[in-house]
Amino acid sequence: MNRKVLIAGNWKMYKTGLEAVQTAKKLTVLCTNVEDTEVMIAPSYLSLPLVAQVFQNTNIKTGAQNLYFEKEGAFTGEISADMIKSAGAEYVLIGHSERRQFFGETNASVCKKIKAAIQSGLKPILCIGETEIQRNEEKTFGVLENQISDGLKGFGLGELGDLVIAYEPVWAIGSGKTANIEQVAEVHQYLRSVLEKLFSKDLADGTRILYGGSVKPANIKEFMSIDNVDGALVGGASLDVSNFIQIIQFGV
């Protein structure tokens, strides 16, 4: 099954519009010859249309870090999937652990957001991951399975062709700690088996599963050598283009 590697950068709440545009321009130059790997940047909402314009007619895609599931209405401060799509995004992160941790995101709201993304033609990147306590209590697999089955509840097979999953152990995000090769290999294989059980072998084989959590130029090669790892979701190390291009090139 041909799953094109995706290296996605999450700029979180960093960079003003000007800084985002400057970084995007530098990245565009560095990525000119990148062909086999798909590259995506998720800037802040405010920078998104500016960055999308820089990436227009280049090989770099733009994504949002979140959306609100209602189509439109009196929801002060929120942004809809259609707004994101019309600003130039192709992807959207949904259920990032920081949204779950600080903003009350649940598997039920994640499910509504994925539906809204698909209806607007955005490719959802469903972020899942266990906390350190859950791992220590050997609840990792149950937590991940619930995040997938509840987050994708009610979807028909035909709707999930553009789905991407990002496995990000919460304890590895921004902490400098990473899951080890055995942990990542075991989880990614398990996630593919969950997709097969819930949907179909075709969907399981075709869905890209990214690893995220303190990915750096020094460790990307190791992660990319693991079966069932189809790319990376990168936070801190995506903010600096010289780090990020090394990750895109697998640390070479």
Residues that bind ligand PEP (CB under 6 A): 10, 12, 168, 173-174, 212-215, 233-237
Residue listed under structure tokens 């259609």: 82
Tell me how far, at minimum, the Cβ of 142 lies from ligand PEP, in Å: 22
Distance separating alpha carbons of residues 125 and 233, to the nearest angstrom: 10
Q: Which amino acid is at 239?
A: L
The SS3 of residue 212 is strand
Distance separating alpha carbons of residues 243 and 252, to the nearest angstrom: 11
Catalytic residues: 96, 168
Closest of 56, 58, 46 to residue 19, by C-alpha: 46
Tell me how far, at minimum, the Cβ of 139 lies from ligand PEP, in Å: 21
Taking the least distance from each CB to ligand PEP, the nearer of 118 and 173 is 173
Taking the least distance from each CB to ligand PEP, the nearer of 48 and 215 is 215
Closest of 145, 141, 124, 226 to residue 178, by C-alpha: 226
The SS3 of residue 120 is coil
Tell me how far, at minimum, the Cβ of 243 lies from ligand PEP, in Å: 10
Taking the least distance from each CB to ligand PEP, the nearer of 11 and 199 is 11
